Structure formats: structure tokens, C-alpha cells
Amino acid sequence: MIYKIFTVAGLATFEIYAAIPTGFAFGLNPWVIFFASLVGGIAGAFIVAFLGEKIEKFISKYRKPKVEVEEKKPTLAHKIWDKFGIVGLGLIGTFTVGAPVSIAVGVGFNVPMPKLLSWCCIGVLLRCAVFTTIGHFGMKLF
């Protein structure tokens, strides 16, 4: 049983969308799935937050300098950032693409990391609660 819990937490470190169905496939209690995916999701956010700047510095050593190019159409991340700021990037970004990607985008935007990390953790909490609840009641239909 402990290996199943660690598997769910390990999957949640990278992607909660894979962790929660795996927990239900293992036959775990919904509360166990919720807490394991919550711990794994928050751990993934902290890992990316603390290693993100080091990875960016490592990559920037080998990156060619940017050449000025005409302005491109704004991406989804830029639209969310312009409209909702740190809260949107932390919550909406966590729900759509996950906390690690949201933090990586925040590092690119030079966002204050403690604020972004706290909003991403709240997003992970909400995401785990919503999707575990959906999974629990969805399994009751069968």
C-alpha cells in the first residue's frame, strides 16, 4: 500500500492529471489520493521554484543572444499575465498546465518567487480537491 501512495505522490510531482486516476486505479481511499497528490504537487512546485533559476542560468550559457525581431502576437501566458497577474499565473496556470510549468513561466517573467509559489500551492490544493472529488463521484457512477 505504501508503494501505491508513493507512486501517486511521485506522479503528482510532475502531473496531477496522471496521479489522481492512478490512485483510483490502485483502489486507494479518496482522502489518501487527495493528500498524496497534494504533497506530490507541492513538492514539484518547490523543486521547480528552487531549481528554476539555476536551470535558467545553465541554459543561458549556451543560448545564442536574441536578435531583435518584430513584435509577435501575444501568447496565452502573456494574456493571462497581462489580465490577471501573479494570481492568474498561479491559479489559472496551475489548473491548465500545472504548477511546474507555471513557475517556469513566472521565472521567465521575473515574477517574485515567494508570491508565485504561494499562489501555485493554493492552485495545487484546489486542483487536487476538485479532481479528486470528480474522480470519487465518477467512480460511484460505476
| Backbone angles phi and psi of 80, in degrees to 5 | -65, -40
| Backbone angles phi and psi of 66, in degrees to 5 | -75, 140
Question: Do the beta carbons of residue 76 and residue 95 sit within 8 Å?
Answer: no
130 or 89: whose pLDDT is higher?
Answer: 130
What is the rounded average pLDDT for all residues in the chain?
A: 86
Residue 96 lies in domain: 2-63+71-141
pLDDT tens per residue across span 54-99:
777 787 777 776 666 566 666 776 777 788 888 888 888 888 888 8
Alpha carbons 78 and 92: distance in angstroms, whole number: 13
Alpha carbons 28 and 23: distance in angstroms, whole number: 6
What is the domain count for the chain? 1
**Does the model's pTM come out above 0.85?**
no
Alpha carbons 72 and 20: distance in angstroms, whole number: 37
